[in-house]
Amino acid sequence: AQTVTQSQPEMSVQEAETVTLSCTYDTSESDYYLFWYKQPPSRQMILVIRQEAYKQQNATENRFSVNFQKAAKSFSLKISDSQLGDAAMYFCAYRSAGTYKYIFGTGTRLKVLA
């Protein structure tokens, strides 16, 4: 069975600095998708970034980028130039290409300090 691990329950970053959130996963599949979702205090779930496992190039979305290491089964999220609005819970998620079963990590709460 697939698992997703987020080993950092909480992280803090100074405004305008860079922070990296860790995510590791375990799977025997070769084709899958990985996601980072953000959950601000409003509790709305928002897609931050996604990565197809067959693509070697790391995904980027403005200030958000990932470091995807397929062999190491690692999928970290880097937030550059952190802003107060980035404060939220961040969830890493895995989805097999063959099914629509999603596996989420336990989340990392990010605090942004002014």
By CB under 8 A, name the binding residues for other proteins.
4, 6, 9, 33, 35, 37, 43-45, 47, 50-52, 91, 93, 95, 97, 100-107
Amino acid at 32: Y
Q: In this complex, which beta carbon is closest to other proteins, that of residue 1 or of residue 114?
A: 1
Q: In this complex, which beta carbon is closest to other proteins, that of residue 45 or of residue 113?
A: 45
Q: What's the min distance (Å) between Cβ of 76 and other proteins?
A: 17
Q: What's the min distance (Å) between Cβ of 114 and other proteins?
A: 26
Closest by CA position to 112, among listed 38, 37, 34: 38
Chain length of the chain: 114
Q: What's the min distance (Å) between Cβ of 29 and other proteins?
A: 14
CA distances from 68 to 40, 52, 53, 57, 112 (A): 24, 10, 8, 8, 24
